[in-house]
Amino acid sequence: MRHTLLAVAVLTAALAACKGEAPTSPATDQTANATAATAETDAKFADLSKRWLDGWLQLNPVSATQIGDHRYDSEIEDLSAAGRQKSLDFSKKLLAELDALDVAKLSRENQVDAAILRNQLRSEIWNIETLQGWAWDPQGYNSLAGGAIYNLMAREFAPMPQRLKSATVRMEKIPTIFTQMRENLDLARVPKIHAETVAKQNAGVLSLIDTFITPNADQLQGDDRKRLDAAVEGLRKAVAEQQAWLDKTLVPSAKGEFRIGQTLYDEKLQFSLMSSLSRAEIKQRAEAELKRVRGEMYAIAQTVLKDKPGAPEMPATPSDEQQQKAIEAALELAYADRPARDKVVDVAKQTLAEATTFARAKDLVTVPDDPVKIILMPEFQRGVSVAYCDSPGPLDKGLDTYYAISPIPDEWSKEQVDSFLREYNTRMIHLLSIHEAMPGHYLEGVHSAKHPSTLRAVLRSGLFAEGWAVYTEDVMADAGYLDNDPLFRLVQLKFYLRAISNAILDQGVHVDNWTREQAMELMTKVAFQQEREAAGKWVRVQLTSAQLPTYFVGAQEQFDLRKAMEAKEGANFNAKRYHDRVLSYGAPPVRFVRALMLDEAIQ
């Protein structure tokens, strides 16, 4: 790692400087000693972090492929009890070494990396010993089975024959994942929604074979081709057997509670966010922001509905009902402009091009030339979110970023499709492209990958990434995107309401035992979401925990940082310079970016 070389160079220079014969003052001696101590401690940490990374990648070969380390492309994770124990022992050993290190003597950049690594190690130990998702959540096994193939085949990091050979070996091993899943899961602890979702996703492994493997199989010849064909046949049989087990055993037997409860939630929230905000503070800020944003939306409604026939009453001080009706009526104007059922991806491509051109024209941030492609979301990943950004691994260079969109399910009725397209109207797809791609996740991922710390790139903060993406929605609207269209601003605020309500919803469900009715009331009425969007989010909040708050909390910390820098720099503040600098730190949790930029203590 670069840190190792840098630390050794600094240490050598510091020691050499100490050998000079010129007399030095006590202050100079103290400075030299401090520099040498920092260099020595940095070197120790660089060695420790490299050993963690090497060991972790070996234990997590499917993740290693995605990250861009291809030494283990033929391997899969060991999910057995022995495999878990090996991972646990590894994490505990490295954590003990890290705890023995005097982190106060590290450079400030390495203090950040040490905090991130400590959180990762503690989180992995907690996940195995306390949360025990391996015993009740089948999603991880399903994701691993699909990722084992997808991570190999989706990007051209190596010639196709080489990747096909690796895929062959992995396909031979994927049935072991299914076996270990059946051995590990305590059926009584598995929530029904988790079982049903995985039962729907299981066949997605076969779609990966049909998409990536079969069309390219002719690139292997002789014994290699025979082995590939046998592996495909064996995996098809294993997936069919797994489907039968899911349908006949897991789904009927799954009776677990999907809510993880206050204690586990609070602990998981801290690991997930690494934020200075507590659960209570998150709720308080979210509720206040909810009220403020709805007030801003009402003011826009007063403007766009003025003199419209049949417009609702819009007094200066409205009742809750008057505010609700006015905002709903204004949103109807935006809903009228929506794509056809089969044109969502085409509109996404158009909006991505427009957002990229606008960000460059307004000089908001340095826009990279790295490629980004819009794709249909792979089947094995559908059912949790409508879209996501899939950046190439930080160790793979020059590969495509994927902006993935889930297609509208074929089985949906006309009414369900209409509900979806009202939510994902044309202006909302503009916002989706801003959030997922430009200048959101795609741009942030490209900038973050340039930071010299491989550790930080591998442990990229979801809080930073989601917070940045939400923050950029507001930046684009403030800059006048779509010619200062007030309906775009209205939809942008509605999209922001989604981030706010996500934070309230997540703890409402997992801690306060909200029912589906309570959740739907928040989403459809308070946050103006359409029924299909809200119904999908209800499924998502059951399947996940402590992830939905990352959007709101990350955005709040991004907004707070911007205000602090504006106050510090005053008239000298420059948005592009600020944005480039924020992105230059490699996407650690936002509080560490703040500490580095404002010279605050690194906690």
| pLDDT(6) > 50 | no
| pLDDT(380) > 80 | no
From 408, 372, 405, select the one nearest 387 (Cα to Cα).
Answer: 405
From 79, 126, 140, select the one nearest 543 (Cα to Cα).
Answer: 140
What is the domain partition of the chain in residue ranges? Answer: 41-131, 136-253, 335-598
Using DSSP bridges, classify how beta strands 387-390 and 401-405 pair: parallel, antiparallel or unpaired: antiparallel
Tens-place pLDDT, residues 78-115: 999 999 999 999 999 999 999 999 999 999 999 999 99
The per-residue pLDDT of the chain, averaged, comes to 93
**Which residues lie below 8 Å from residue 388, measured CB to CB, with a gap of 6+?**
377, 381, 404, 436
What's the CA gap between 592 and 553, in Å, rounded? 14
Sheet holding 401-405, edge to edge: 372-376, 401-405, 387-390
**Torsion angles phi and psi, residue 9, rounded to 5:** -65, -45
Tens-place pLDDT, residues 485-533: 999 999 999 999 999 999 999 999 999 999 999 999 999 999 999 999 9
**Which residues lie below 8 Å from residue 525, measured CB to CB, with a gap of 6+?**
324
Average pLDDT over residues 389-402: 89
**Reported confidence tier of residue 9, pLDDT bands at 50, 70, 90:** very low
Please report, rounded to a whole number, the percentage of residues in the chain having pLDDT higher than 70: 94
**Reported confidence tier of residue 7, pLDDT bands at 50, 70, 90:** very low
Tens-place pLDDT, residues 180-235: 999 999 999 999 999 999 999 999 999 999 999 999 999 999 999 999 999 999 99
Least confident of 42-51, 53-62, 355-364, 386-395: 386-395
| pLDDT(149) > 90 | yes
Contact 583, 590 (CB under 8 A): no
Query: What H or E segment, with its residue span, contains residue 442?
Result: helix 441-448
| pLDDT(157) > 80 | yes
